[in-house]
Structure 1
Amino acid sequence: MTKKRPLTRVNTSVPGADVAVETAAAMASASLVFKTSDSTYSSTLLKHAKQLFTFADKYIGCYISSYEDKFTRAASWLYHAIGDQSYLKYVAGVTEYELVNWGSPTWLSLGERLAITQHPVASAFLASVYSDYMLTSQTGKITCGNDYFKPLDLRKFAKSQADYVLGSNPLKMSFLVGCGDKYQIHASQRGFKIPIDATTGCKDGFKWLYSTDPNPNVAIGVLVAGSFFNETYIDSRNNSMQAANHI
């Protein structure tokens, strides 16, 4: 490819909390994998995970995208790996009511102005898994602030999110490509929109980007970003905020 790809880095002058804590989460989780087989390597991973988390927490700034949810993921893995209560308190302080809504909204649980179906889908999965854990451990309820939830509540929440993504929404549209009678036909990735037998160069993709024809390659099973908070969706390849595939 002829496009320039300059190297960049994050530091105290040019912070990138999102990248730092994502790496911290990966290292903390990996430390658990190697804890028994290679304790030295596991300790090294954990050491750097803690350093990266501290760096990101002190020098807030984005390299690519938002960082709030990434902090909770990193703190969760660090708590799981170390057992330090400060990480658990960090998770509780950030996520309670700010990132999760356990009600039964028409919209997705983490929907703000941006289209982000990957987050509520992940939340639905975790809620489903945790409801199984509650049943197995005979835990009757969990609390969140002044509210409490039973295993069935978590199941209902998970189902509401999955149903929304699969078409039970005001648009009557499935955000999972290939599922249902109405779904996105202009998912934006190059592999979907450029015919398999096309001969192209690095700068030839625009004619397919702006084409109104359906994608020649149906990306069955791809989850696109989805609708905005006001329940609108523009099925256009150039609408990367909504038509980009997330999973």
Structure 2
Amino acid sequence: MPFPTLVHFKETKTMKRGAVIVVVTIIWSLVIKGGRGFTSQDYRDALEKSILFFEGQRSGRLPPDQRLSWRGHSALSDGSSYHVDLVGGYYDAGDNVKFGLPMAFTVTMLAWSVIEFGESMGGQVENARAAIRWGSDYLLKASTSTPDSLYVQVGDPNMEHRCWERPEDMDTPRTVFKISTQNPGSDVAAETAAALAASSIVFKHSDPSYSSKLLTASIQVFDFADRHRGSYSSSLGSAVCPFYCSYSGYQDELLWGAAWVYRASNNNSYSKYIGSNGQLMGANDDDYSFSWDDKRPATKVLLSKDVLETNTAEFQLYKAHADNYICSFIPGSSSFQNQYTPGGLLYKAGESNLQYVTSSTFLLLAYAKYLGDRSITCGTSTVTASQIVAQARKQVDYILGRNPMKMSYMVGFGDRYPQHLHHRASSVPSIHSHPLPIDCNSGFQYLYSNSPNPNLLVGAIVGGPDNSDRFNDDRSNYQQSEPATYINAPFVGVLAFFSHNNLSDVINLP
């Protein structure tokens, strides 16, 4: 379980749109199809795999169209001893616990990926929607089963981490944890509200009834999070800490949740909420790390959309700080703040560093889309959308194999990728090839085996290399070899962006 750390397209007034498109197309050709990079087809292949990964993380009864066929049904009684149906959802990483905070963040980022870049996904958009629905169905059940409460976790991580067994064989306690008025958890509740609200946007046209249900639930959950303020880390203690402690507090999630409910509902009361509470919830913070724990930079980018696309002055403060965030990634600018490895990878943390790379790269591309033909000022430098896109692409290509190790950090993509994932289901023989149960202790022989994982978790992105670009393909080295849903989720949108052939359409030039 990774621990978080604190972590131009310039158009003059006399130019015609056609001229801009020509310029953009040339830039796109140089950026994407030049000899130094991957092709659009490569990115489409990686996009398909990045979505397929989520099928390997499914909990519950698998559907007939399940494509990762080595998985089986699991945790079919979750919540039953508490008289609530909590079957479904996702296992977060390489274990078999369903942690509510990273799961909700995963759903939010999958939904944002479709909202911003769904039109670039082609035939994969339906698979992306299915991945979102698998998570949003679960979050609906977790948030509407009992009034003034939210189920936020299934499984005792302390007990579960003492075993190495596939989810189909689980015999560790499926303890259920919830937050309530007496034991609040504004962070996980507000993130759940964000996930439900973002998902409601995704299904607004394809399934209006479902969308309406999601939006109603998101409003109720956000109200609960706001009325009963507190951190779920304080309420649930060792059940969530140190695994997914809310290190950044809950204020960032309240602002993030309000921004998503506002975008989904277009209800001005949430705009007013953001205006009234922003100063207390991080609106003035220049924070440079976006993760399942800290939503401050993402909220600023999200709210900047209104400023950039509709000339709304209301969220100008957020746009100013979003500029600062984007500038921090641009080497050579006077606002440069980030660290890169010698091979050019953004480096934030020693454990699961790629989660910060994929989430940051998504924000860079979303902001480039919002900017269109505008530019931003980074100290004494002017930075354009094309420069932002180029910086993002370096990170994407590094992950996919253009790095000192010449290794793809996405399983199943390219000729060389990690073989020894820190992942129970992938490393233990499938229930289809080994029908007899493999108990808690017997599974450790597979953890310590030198053999490659028998089940290919296609599309999984692992934690990644260290700050010297070194990667140890070792199952015991969870810091580098463990995949997670929240690493993949933002990368779905990123790959959709680069899989598109016409950059001018993606960036929405006027």
Map of 2:298 onto structure 1: none
Q: Greater helix share, 1 or 2?
A: 2
Matches within 5 A, 1:59-78: 59=231, 61=233, 63=240, 64-67=243-246, 68=248, 72=252, 75-78=255-258
Q: CA contact under 8 A between 1:178 and 1:221: conserved in structure 2?
A: yes
Mean Cα deviation higher: 78-87 or 89-98: 89-98
Note the C-alpha offset of 1:41: 7.7
Map of 1:222 onto structure 2: 460
Q: Does 1:202 align with 2:436?
A: no
Change (3 A) 1:171 1:79: same
Any idea what the Cα deviations from partners look like across 1:19-75, whole Å, max 9, x if unmatched? 3332232244356667x868798456324314415655x437373425449865663
Count of matched residue pairs = 242
Q: Does 1:85 align with 2:275?
A: yes
Map of 2:477 onto structure 1: 239
Give ranges in structure 2 of 5+ residues lacking alignment.
1-169, 235-239, 263-269, 291-324, 332-339, 489-510
2: CA distance, partners of 1:69 / 1:182: 40
Give me the CA root mean square deviation.
Answer: 3.7
Q: TM-score scaled by structure 1? A: 0.75
Q: TM-score scaled by structure 2? A: 0.40
Q: CA contact under 8 A between 2:193 and 2:217: conserved in structure 1?
A: no
Q: State the secondary structure of the residue aligned to 1:8.
A: strand
Map of 1:116 onto structure 2: 353
Change (3 A) 1:42 1:211: closer
1: CA distance, partners of 2:250 / 2:465: 22
Change (3 A) 1:146 1:215: same
Map of 2:405 onto structure 1: 171
Note the C-alpha offset of 1:12: 8.2
Any idea what the Cα deviations from partners look like across 1:79-111, whole Å, max 9, x if unmatched? 241223356654643454355541353364462
Q: CA contact under 8 A between 1:30 and 1:45: conserved in structure 2?
A: no
Change (3 A) 1:30 1:194: closer
Q: CA contact under 8 A between 2:426 and 2:455: conserved in structure 1?
A: yes
Give ranges in structure 1 of 5+ residues lacking alignment.
none
1: CA distance, partners of 2:256 / 2:174: 33
Change (3 A) 1:87 1:116: farther
1: CA distance, partners of 2:480 / 2:223: 34
Map of 1:191 onto structure 2: 425
Any idea what the Cα deviations from partners look like across 1:128-159, whole Å, max 9, x if unmatched? 24323322xx4x12357887632012102211
Any idea what the Cα deviations from partners look like across 1:179-234, whole Å, max 9, x if unmatched? 33432110122332223412332323211111001122232321111123454433
Give the number of the structure with larger relative contact order, counting CA–CA contacts within 8 Å between residues 6 or more apart: 2
Q: Could you tell me which of 221, 246, 252 is aligned with 1:48?
A: 221
Change (3 A) 1:191 1:45: closer
Paired residue type of 1:2: D
Change (3 A) 1:19 1:195: same
2: CA distance, partners of 1:69 / 1:144: 29
2: CA distance, partners of 1:230 / 1:15: 41
